[in-house]
Structure 1
Amino acid sequence: MGRIFISAAHGGKEAGRTDPGSIAGGTNEAKEMILLRDLIVTELRARNFEVLAVPDDLSAQQTIAWINSRARQKDVALEIHADAASSPSVRGASIFYIASNDERRSNAELLLVALLRRVPQLPNRGVKPDSASGLGRLAFCRQTAIGSLLMQVAFLTSPDDRALLQTRRRDFALGIADGLASWSRTVDPGSGGEAEPTYPPINININGQKYSEQGILINGNAYIPIDLVDRLRVDLSKAPNVRRVSYRRVVYVKAIELQDFHVSISWDSASRTLSLRSILQIPAGQIDKIMSNGYTSEVQLQLFLRNNNEGAIVQFPDLPKLYREEATIEGVNYDIAFCQMCLETAFLRFGGDLKPEQNNFAGLGTIGGGAEAASFESARIGVRAQIQHLKAYASLEPLVQEVVDPRFRFVTRGIATSINQLSGRWSADLDYGNKIMAMLKRLYESAGLI
């Protein structure tokens, strides 16, 4: 039977110091996940599963390398995390799987149901593709060589979740062990020892045309021949983390990784066909420029918002229109501004210190560092303030409309012309720009632009 790898997130060295993960309620993520992991390992071994626990002093990348150096074809891997949010009312468990992998999604559902069966008081936040995570990709899901999942078992910042985790830790462990046992048996029902792997072939379409060569399916992930990557004009020479495998003397590349090179990926399980669309309808070098054109329609913005929060349009029905109008007046890319709003407000769910009635869609502060974020008299004025603040960062040009941004005059004009340069400026989060870019790519994929 295949083995089970399990990693407790955090605790290792990141950027030269020990990483405790999120901290709340007098404890930290690394401590809680190590305690939970140890119980899961004990339970699985009692059921005669072979379990490998990742050493706790490894970094995130070292963890993946440690697993990959030991993994065999029918093994599986799970990393457990505790989530965190600005609002203590945010609760629940969720699991991330590698995007465009139906098999892995089913595995994730199996595991989440098993946990919630043991701990029914824990809210179900669902299974999600890793493209829906903050950075648009999760290294543990993408780079681990075997089938892998990343589980957020609870919110450490929620007193209710934290109390459940600390008082019913064994129930959490039993539920996760149940799910891992079922997943492992699904991958390897006990057919015998390790044999030379045989991977099923898949069909490939490029821009609507059938490609003459086939790809292969490994652990539910589509792989394409390296020759096709070259034909798409994708340069992987500076992308060492993109997974490559050699099978029957041909080198294959994990298709989902090509999304970072503006290649759209979709999968039709019925026909076992991978579809690639390589046409980028946005000029090269312009996708991250704040002072540029938007490319989506008002309807596309509405659909994107509604698909991620069904109630958002009910509360702010004109918001897509406001972003297109206000940003166009000042020459700001309304797609970028809109995606920043989606990130800052969690698709208009708000939470933390931001409230809907403040009409503050980007976490703008007040003069003098007040305890609350700025408030605006209407949604239009709130959008206008955000647009003006973006223009302050990205341009030396004067405003077209009267200033409503309370902190416009404090920005060093033109200091951040691209999304990535907002990191550490608009937000202390050094991944802030990457998160906006990930959201922007989700928008453009949903609109069929990439």
Structure 2
Amino acid sequence: MGRIFLSAAHGGKETGGIDPGSIAGGTTEAREMILLRDLIVTELRARSFEVLSVPDDLSAKQTIEWINSRVRRGDVALEIHADAASSPSVRGASVFYIANNDERKSNAELVLMGLLRRVTQLPNRGVKPDTNSGLGSLAFCRQTKAPALLMQVGFLSNPEDRALLQNRRRDFALGIADGLAAWSRAVDPGSGGGGATYPAINININGQKYSEQGILVDGNAYIPIDLVDRLQIDLSKAPNVRRITYRRIVYVKAIELREFNVSVSWDSASRTVSLRSNLLICSGQIDKIMSHGNASEVQLQIFLKNNNENALVRFPDIAKLYREEAAIEGVNYDIAFCQMCVETGFLRFGDDIKPEQNNFAGLGTIGGGSQAATFESARIGVRAHVQHLKAYASLEPLVQDVVDPRFRFVTRGIAPLVGQLSGRWSADLNYGDKIMAMLKRLYESAGLM
């Protein structure tokens, strides 16, 4: 039986000092996860499992390096987190797995069910591909050599979840230990490592069967490097993309090509990985704020409803409004719409901004007040959002009268690309990446990439 690597998220040294993770209720994510991790380790060792506890002072990158330098065939890895949301009502547990990996999805279900059976009061938020995370991918799931999962044990920002975690910490530990034990036992020690034999898989590119086959490694599809070259993707400056050599051929993990605007999907029935590179959008324009949108009104509506089934109840015309208002000012309505999804949590909003404020982008007021701006209608709220984007991305004058209360305070044209909004629109230095991850999710759901 393989070993279990267990990491308590945060607590290590990141840029700017020690990373506490989320902070709520007088405690930190790092503290709570370390306490929980220690109980899980004790429980698993009592069950005769060999557990390697990742040192607490390592950064996220160092954590992965520490595991990768020690990993052996048959090992598994789990990192535990406590989530946080702008609304304290959001709660529940979930597990993220690397996208397009059916095996890892099943592993995630084992671990999550272990916890939920022990702590029945904890809502089930389900298992999710890492493409559904805020940044569109999770390094712990992607870059760890062992099969890896990332678990959100609850929301530290929710008083009920926080109380459960602190008052029933041992039950959390027992449940997660149950899930990890089941996962570890299910791992086939012969499925990876030196001398292994990997099953062949089919490759479909742009609707056509590719003549060469790929391989399946730990549930992940790998494709030959020559196909990557044919797609005109330069991986020379992408050291984090996993490569392996098998029978004298170099293979690349297919899901990583998503970062190069290639859509990647997996069909387990036919054992086929499908790649789509004939984008219906211009890859060089995808992150330009002043550009054309590509999704239809219906595609925007479907994307929103798939992520919040109640979103269109209060704002039935939101997709139409973004398309119309953005087109008037020359702003990419797909980008504006996806920024709205990031800011409002797919129109769920939070305690700081109410739906009736019609503020879809976290716009502030003038005069130094702490309250967010309020707009008389959804259309005016969307218009203000679009105008604020145009202020950052363009030197051109507005077509319509100014309704954005902070338009005149923006240095015009300072951020023509989505990534340049990071640290400006939001203090979050990953803010632009989160919008781009949302944009890729939209385009994949609409079949545009």
Q: Decide: shared fold, TM above 0.5.
A: yes
Aligned-partner Cα distance in 2 for 1:392–1:233 = 35
- Residue of structure 2 in register with 1:14 after alignment: 14
Q: CA deviation at 1:327?
A: 0.4
Q: CA deviation at 1:94?
A: 0.9
Q: For 1:100-132, what per-residue CA distance to the aligned partner results, in whole angstroms no more than 9, with x for missing partners?
A: 111111111111111011011111111111111
Contact 2:190–2:196, Cα closer than 8 Å, also in 1:
no
Q: CA deviation at 1:74?
A: 1.3
- Residue of structure 1 in register with 2:272 after alignment: 273
Aligned-partner Cα distance in 2 for 1:192–1:209 = 29
3-state DSSP of counterpart to 1:106? helix
- Residue of structure 1 in register with 2:231 after alignment: 232
Aligned-partner Cα distance in 2 for 1:225–1:421 = 35
Q: CA deviation at 1:194?
A: 8.0
Q: What letter is aligned with 2:106? A: S
Aligned-partner Cα distance in 2 for 1:272–1:93 = 31
Q: What letter is aligned with 2:249? A: V
Equivalenced residue count is: 449
TM-score after normalising by structure 1: 0.97
Q: CA deviation at 1:402?
A: 1.0
Ranges of 4+ aligned residues in structure 1 off by more than 6 Å: 190-195
Change (3 A) 1:142 1:91: same
Q: For 1:382-407, what per-residue CA distance to the aligned partner results, in whole angstroms no more than 9, with x for missing partners?
A: 10010111111111111111111111
1:368 aligned to 2:356?
no
1:181 aligned to 2:181?
yes
Q: CA deviation at 1:369?
A: 2.5
- Residue of structure 2 in register with 1:418 after alignment: 417
Aligned-partner Cα distance in 2 for 1:195–1:235 = 28
3-state DSSP of counterpart to 2:391? helix
Moved more, 367-376 or 175-184: 367-376
- Residue of structure 2 in register with 1:26 after alignment: 26
Q: What letter is aligned with 1:26? A: G
TM alignment of 1:31-70, pairs within 5 A: 31-70=31-70
- Residue of structure 1 in register with 2:354 after alignment: 355
Q: Which runs of 5+ in 2 are unaligned?
A: none
Aligned-partner Cα distance in 1 for 2:314–2:145 = 44
- Structure 1 vs Structure 2 CA RMSD: 1.5
Q: CA deviation at 1:371?
A: 2.6
Contact 1:392–1:411, Cα closer than 8 Å, also in 2:
yes
Contact 1:73–1:197, Cα closer than 8 Å, also in 2:
no
- Residue of structure 1 in register with 2:249 after alignment: 250
- Residue of structure 2 in register with 1:149 after alignment: 149
TM-score after normalising by structure 2: 0.98
Contact 1:202–1:215, Cα closer than 8 Å, also in 2:
yes
Q: CA deviation at 1:269?
A: 0.3
TM alignment of 1:301-316, pairs within 5 A: 301-316=300-315
3-state DSSP of counterpart to 2:288? coil
- Residue of structure 2 in register with 1:88 after alignment: 88
Q: CA deviation at 1:174?
A: 0.2
Aligned-partner Cα distance in 1 for 2:35–2:346 = 34
3-state DSSP of counterpart to 1:223? strand
Aligned-partner Cα distance in 1 for 2:224–2:191 = 30
3-state DSSP of counterpart to 2:285? coil
Q: CA deviation at 1:79?
A: 0.2
1:158 aligned to 2:158?
yes
3-state DSSP of counterpart to 1:285? helix
- Residue of structure 2 in register with 1:133 after alignment: 133
Change (3 A) 1:208 1:193: closer
Aligned-partner Cα distance in 1 for 2:23–2:358 = 30
- Residue of structure 2 in register with 1:108 after alignment: 108
| Percentage of identical aligned residues | 81
Q: CA deviation at 1:157?
A: 1.6
- Residue of structure 1 in register with 2:119 after alignment: 119
Contact 2:261–2:283, Cα closer than 8 Å, also in 1:
no
3-state DSSP of counterpart to 2:201? strand
3-state DSSP of counterpart to 1:176? helix
Q: CA deviation at 1:193?
A: 12
Q: CA deviation at 1:246?
A: 1.2
Contact 1:224–1:254, Cα closer than 8 Å, also in 2:
yes
